[in-house]
Structure 1
Amino acid sequence: MARDTERYDVNLSILFTELPLLERPAAAAAAGFDAVELWWPWTDTATPPQRELDALRRALADAGTRLVGLNFYAGQLPGPDRGALSVPGHESDRFRANIDVAAGFAASVGCTALNALYGNRVDGVDPAVQDALALENLVLAARAAHGVGATLLIETLGEPESPRYPLVSAPAAIAVVDRVNEETGLGNAAFLLDLYHLSMNGEDLPGVIDRYADKTGHVQIADNPGRGAPGTGTLPLDDLVGRLRKAGYDGWIGLEYKPGDRPSAEAFGWLGR
């Protein structure tokens, strides 16, 4: 694996969480990174006050860090939720209210990747009804993302950790990507290829890379088991990242792993710095 931080970004929703949100960009910069990503930072609201958006924008700018990935509102994450866009009622309404907020914030900081987590299956609701709602909301999100020059990302999650999340295979996520692109005609929906989650589902990771690198808009990594830093588990991340590059993927690779029982600043020794 490349022993530099040139194309790696730090996920500030899983690393540096021992610090307040507004201090994390500077901590990432001090660790040698100039690019970061975030889950939606305000889990209690899809529409935070403008002053909070402005404060995060200033923190990113003051640290000299670029936001390269942002989730749309996804409910309580970390927590029991796995997205909102396919969940009828208040959660879907919150997702729709969040679309322009998230896209506008992304545009203001130069972020060009917006991740839309699909949401869990709901008892008593026909999955076909949820899927129709999801497509409707994803089309709205894709159009908003296109309006600010961004890609809409669709992600698989790990089935053992997310038993009610329906997208637990690369083909399932790719099918949603294709449906959204067909519906909008914009071509800006893409696959978020998370090697950790795919490995949790027992997928053939080299095969997934070979088949879907051209539909991949963002990559995230963590080792398995444990969701720790590269080298703490058994995944051949050196080989897999190299395979991605050879397949033509030249985008960001998000470090979405847990730091373990040490400060986040000490969780990057695998980079050999």
Structure 2
Amino acid sequence: MAGLRFCANLKWLFTELPFEQRFAAAAKAGFRAVEYAQPYGWPVGVLQKHLRENGLQQILINTPVGPPDSPLRSGAACHPDYVAEFQNGMLQALEYAAALSCPFVHLQAGLQPDNTTVAAALMQFTDNINWAREQAGKQGVVLLLEAINRHDIPHFFLSDYYLAADIVRQINSPSVRLMLDIYHCQMMHGDLSRNIAALLPLTAHVQIADPPTRSEPGSGELNWDFVFNQLQRLDYAGWIGCEYRPLSTTLESLGWMTAYPADAAR
């Protein structure tokens, strides 16, 4: 299936190894690009070295998050009380993106604040996106909005892909697009064929995992031949991030890729 390109999410794949060894493992498995959420625990030079030595391209990072027990554990963008934290985190993300030649930053919406109405959180989220896209546009980085289902992250603010799409249309900037996660879309909305067709024109990056366990394609309820064929029919030319939890080892979980040409799939 020519035209589909898969990249390895190093937060989810090759977890049998320490993080810094996952780059070489991904390259050995045939990947030519990687993504991962939080690069901020490593010096930029270390990450550059692993990318360079393994012939890998960095595709995606996320904006920083707070500690696991903090209100910012899933991001800060919708929190009226944490605008400075959001802006500082966004600038840090853009610094890493520039150093890693990374085209995409996932701007994480965060959790719905307890003391804030949905309307106020949406207003703050939109204001923060507008501020961030001006910064991102200066260096050619595209900000991605991802809706996440509330089964996986309770109280996540952006839990509807059609709200995300409305925000992208409202912002109306080439610097703000959707990240279409097939797993989250199916968990939230179902009717995947119609939703892919509706959302893909606003999408710059796709991620995959098979519901309901969020494991590799072929492990769950989706017909992946149909999904991949639809992406191809709709002329999707971007990367497809493998953001799934392998049922066994990572290498064993990659068997589904043998159905696709090596030069296209990885």
Normalization by structure 2: what TM-score? 0.88
1:234-249, aligned counterparts within 5 Å? 234-249=221-236
1:25-174, aligned counterparts within 5 Å? 25-42=23-40, 52-76=43-67, 81-90=73-82, 92-174=83-165
1:27 and 1:265 in contact (8 A); partners too: no
**Deviation of the 1:167 alpha carbon:** 2.1
1:217 to 204, 207, 210: 204
Q: CA distance change for structure 1 residues 187 and 98 in 2, over 3 Å: closer, same or farther?
A: same
Quick one: higher RCO (CA 8 Å, sep 6+), 1 or 2? 2
1:194 to 146, 163, 181: 181
Q: CA distance change for structure 1 residues 62 and 165 in 2, over 3 Å: closer, same or farther?
A: same
Count of aligned positions: 258
2:13 to 7, 12, 15: 15
- Structure 2 counterpart of 1:250: 237
Q: Within 1, Cα distance between the matches of 2:53 and 2:222?
A: 36
2:150 and 2:159 in contact (8 A); partners too: yes
Q: CA distance change for structure 1 residues 77 and 215 in 2, over 3 Å: closer, same or farther?
A: farther
Amino acid in structure 2 at the alignment position of 1:85: A
Gaps of 5+ in 1: 43-47
**Deviation of the 1:151 alpha carbon:** 1.4
SS at match of 1:270: helix
Amino acid in structure 1 at the alignment position of 2:78: S
- Residues 138-188 of structure 1: per-residue CA shift (max 9 Å, x gap): 12221222222121111011132223113222211101212222xxxx332
Q: State the percentage of identical aligned residues.
A: 33
Q: Within 1, Cα distance between the matches of 2:69 and 2:234?
A: 32
**Deviation of the 1:77 alpha carbon:** 7.2
Q: CA distance change for structure 1 residues 173 and 15 in 2, over 3 Å: closer, same or farther?
A: same
SS at match of 2:43: helix
